[in-house]
Each structure stands twice: as C-alpha cells, then as structure tokens.
Structure 1
Amino acid sequence: MTKKYKTAYKVIISIVILMIISIVVYKVYKMNLGIGDIKNYVESFGKLGPIIYIIIFSLVPLTLFPDSILAISSGLIFGLVNGYIYTAIGALIGGTISFYISRKLGRNVVKKLIKEKLDKVENMINERGFFIVLMLRLIPLFPFDVISYGSGLTSIKYKDFILATFFGTIPGIFVFVNIGAQSVNIGSKSFYLSIVALILLLVVSIILKNRFITKNLENNK
C-alpha cells in the first residue's frame, strides 16, 4: 500500500469513527435525557465511562445540548475532582472543535449550526482578543458555543483563545460540577453551600457583563 493510499485509508477510518460517535451522541441528546439518565448511560460503559463522557461533552457544540446539565451530571457520576477534570478536558476539546469549524469552514457553515448573530461578538474579540474571551467565559449566562464559533471567525490566535477558555471556565465548571457532587447530600450544609456558590457566580456574571461586555457592545454599535 502506497503512502498516498495509507493516508486516504486513515482519513476514511477517522471519518467513519467520528460519524459513529456523532450518531450515538446525537441519539442520546434527542432523547431529552435528564441528569439521572445521563448518569446511567455513562456508567453503563464501566471503566470507559470517563472517555464516553469527555466525548459527549466535546461534541456539545455540534448539538447545542445544555453543557451545564452535563457538568452537573459529571459531579454526580465522578465526584468533584474527577468531574471537574473530565469536564474541563471536554470543554477545551469542544471549544477547539467549534473554533476550527469556524476558522476552516467559514461563516455559512456556522450559520447552519447556530442561530445567534456573531457580528458583535466578533467585533469585541477582534479588538481585545484574550481579555474579551476570558470575560465571556467567566459569564456562564453567555452561550459557550457562540463564543467558540465567534472566536474562530476573528483574528485571535488559537493559543490566546484556548488559554482564555481554560482560565475563564474554571469558576463555572467548578460550581456546576460541585452541585452535582453535592446532590447526593441534599439538605446538608455542603449542598446549600453549592447553591450559594451558584448564586454568587450568577451575581458576579451579571456584574462582569454590565461592566465589560455591555460597554463593549455599545461601543461596537
């Protein structure tokens, strides 16, 4: 087998594997599963559970399934530490997929995947790159996938995008995973503290949005 055919063979196999994974995950999302159902599904794979979870979270940008639901599920399934690690890995991979879909395939393809307009997000990121992506990631109310797709259409370097994503998602991932981890102790002090942490995250998000994002949006009108 020549080098040319070997390369083509690898590409075909990779596409087939990706299609199979995508179909499985898509069917899971179409079933409108709750947190308990996701837990049962992931745990059904035994030791492969963490890998399956990371794959599911990584493909969220292609399905627009609520990533907060998955993050809470990971805490319930794996606990706080492992749940955070697996979710962070999935978020970075998912963000990368969205970023390169936009960068390589362009605006027309992105429009078919999401309904939100990306113009204002693009303008902000083009102007202040790393800082804006970091601020947007710190705001869980702002759609994760919109930020990723929008970034891919700008001039921001991938290194800046992925670093801003990593640091910016730390609070949000921690809070949502912690809710899942503490949900087995409903009524306990730790459970109520996890709810307080969520409320604080939302309050800080609103403050950051009003102070940085809204101001930038007004400047880009």
Structure 2
Amino acid sequence: MKMKKGTNIIKYILTIVILGAIIFIVNKNNILKGYSASDIKEYVTSFGVLSPIVYIILFTLVPLTLFPDSILAISSGMIFGLFKGFIYTMIGALFGASLSFFITRILGKKFIDRFIKKDISKIGGIIEKRGFFIILVLRLIPLFPFDIISYGAGLSDVKYKDFLAATIIGTIPGIFVYTNVGDKSTDIGSTSFVISILLLVLLFVVSLLLKKKLSFNDREL
C-alpha cells in the first residue's frame, strides 16, 4: 500500500512539473499572441502535409495562452475549407477543453486563479448545480470565453463524459459559423461571403439573447 501511495505521489508531482513546464514554454514564447487569422494561415500552411496536425496542436494549446478561439477557427476555414476545417477545429476544441478541464482537476483553484487572473469559483459552482445542461448552454454562447468555461467545469464535480458530450454538442454552431466565415473570406463580396457574415451576426444575436436570459435567471453569471 505504501509503495502504491508513493508511486501515485510521484505521478502527481511529475504531472504538475510537466504541465507547469508546458505553460511556461507556451507563454514565454508568446505562442499565438498578437497573430491574425491570416498570420496563422501562413504559419500552419508552411508545414505542408503536417498542417492539420500542427493546427490541432495549436488549438489544443489555446487554453494556455487564452488566445481567442474564434480567430483560430476562422483561420481553419481559410486553410482547410469548411468541411475539413470544421473537423480539425472540433478535434482541437475537444483536446483543448479536456486539457483545461484536467489542469484544473489536477492543479486546483489557486493555481488557475493565479494563471487566468480571475476567480472562476462562481462559474464552477453554477456548473456544479446544473452540470451537463449549463455547460451545453454556455457552449452555445460564444460571448462566454470557451476556456474559462472549461476551467470552471474542472472545479466542479461534473463527470468528464458529461462535460465532453455538452462540449461536442454545444460547440457545433459556433465552430461551423466561424469556419464558414474563414472559408468564404477567400471570396469577399460574393453572395456566400455575405451569407456567412449574416450567420455570424445571427449567432451573436442569439448569444446575446441567451446570455441575457441566463443573467436574468442567475445573477452569478
């Protein structure tokens, strides 16, 4: 029993060291900071056939930089087109969300509060009470930071499978709209581009209405 306990402690310490090192390296090198969708496109495409893997890795690391996920999603449409861009962004979003979730579970509230410079205990408490449903609704609202929701979920007792399912379903509209904007941005002025912008506006209008409704029902949000 003592040996098993000692092994678990070593694994825990190694996990913290590795996560800390990754966070330090990502932020020290200013990965993604200050870049536009076009800059990301140029960078990712420079890797040729490895571009999809590089893009997914970048999206996975987004929670460590708090870079806007929407800009990366738009760049995916510019690089890969709507269908492939949507698939790669969905994969990256799930990896990134999972990374945030488990970082909080492993490193705890104090570390996350210092890292993101914000107290997310209220969000964690709301998710705790409503679980799958509140995560799903928050994912449908792009106005709520994607990574903050993931970190907040990690503070709660919500099951990972519920968190993952709500994330998959809830991010579909947003990822589709942003990827579509990127895909159609190669033909600015076309009817398809105008429609993509209208869909983006519609997404934000619906998000505002949902956010207002949530705020009305729960002042903590």
TM over 0.5: yes
Alpha-carbon shift at residue 28 of structure 1 (Å): 3.5
**Counterpart mapping for 1:114-129 below 5 A:** 114-129=116-131
- Kindly state the Cα deviation for residue 210 of structure 1 after the two structures are TM-superposed: 1.7
Aligned in 2, Cα 1:153/1:176: closer, same or farther, shift over 3 Å? same
Q: What is the aligned-residue RMSD (CA, Å)? A: 2.6
TM-superposed CA distance for 1:51, in Å, is: 0.3
1:58 maps to: 60
1:88-99 map, 5 Å: 88-99=90-101
State the distance in 2 between where 1:142 and 1:39 align. Answer: 25
Q: Offset of 1:196 from its aligned partner?
A: 0.4
Q: Is 1:67 aligned to 2:69, yes or no?
A: yes
Matches within 5 A, 1:12-161: 15=18, 19=22, 23=26, 26-30=29-33, 32-161=34-163
Q: Residues 216 and 121 (structure 1 numbering): CA distance in 2 closer, same or farther, change over 3 Å?
A: farther
Q: 1:172 to 1:25 in 2, by over 3 A?
A: farther
- Determine if the alignment matches structure 1 residue 209 to structure 2 residue 211: yes
- The answer on whether the counterparts of 2:62 and 2:69 sit within 8 Å (CA) in structure 1 is yes
Could you give the per-residue CA deviations for residues 113-168 of structure 1, whole angstroms, max 9, x where no partner exists? 21232122122111110000000000000001110000000010000001000000
Shift of the 127–216 alpha-carbon distance from structure 1 to 2, 3 Å rule, reads farther
Verify the 8 A CA contact 1:124 1:216 in the aligned structure 2. Answer: no
Unmatched 5+ stretches in structure 2: 1-6
| 1:26 CA displacement | 4.1
> 1:143 & 1:152 partners in 2: Cα distance?
15
Query: What TM-score comes out, normalization by structure 2 length?
Result: 0.86
TM-score, length-normalised on structure 1? Answer: 0.86
User: Is 2:162 the counterpart of 1:169?
Assistant: no
Cα drift, residue 27 of structure 1 = 3.7
- In the TM superposition, what whole-angstrom CA distance separates every residue of 1:19-70 from its partner, at most 9, and x where no partner exists? 49x549944424x222211111001100000000000000000011111110
User: Which of 179, 185, 207 is matched with 1:183 structurally?
Assistant: 185
Identity %: 55
Unaligned runs of 5+ in 1: none
Aligned pairs, how many?
A: 209
Given that 2:132 and 2:162 are in contact with CA atoms closer than 8 Å, whether structure 1 keeps it comes out as yes
Which amino acid letter does the alignment assign opposite residue 203 of structure 2?
L
1:111 positional shift: 1.1
Query: Secondary structure of the equivalent of 2:158?
Result: coil
> Whole-Å Cα distance in 1 between the matches of residues 178 and 28 of structure 2?
21
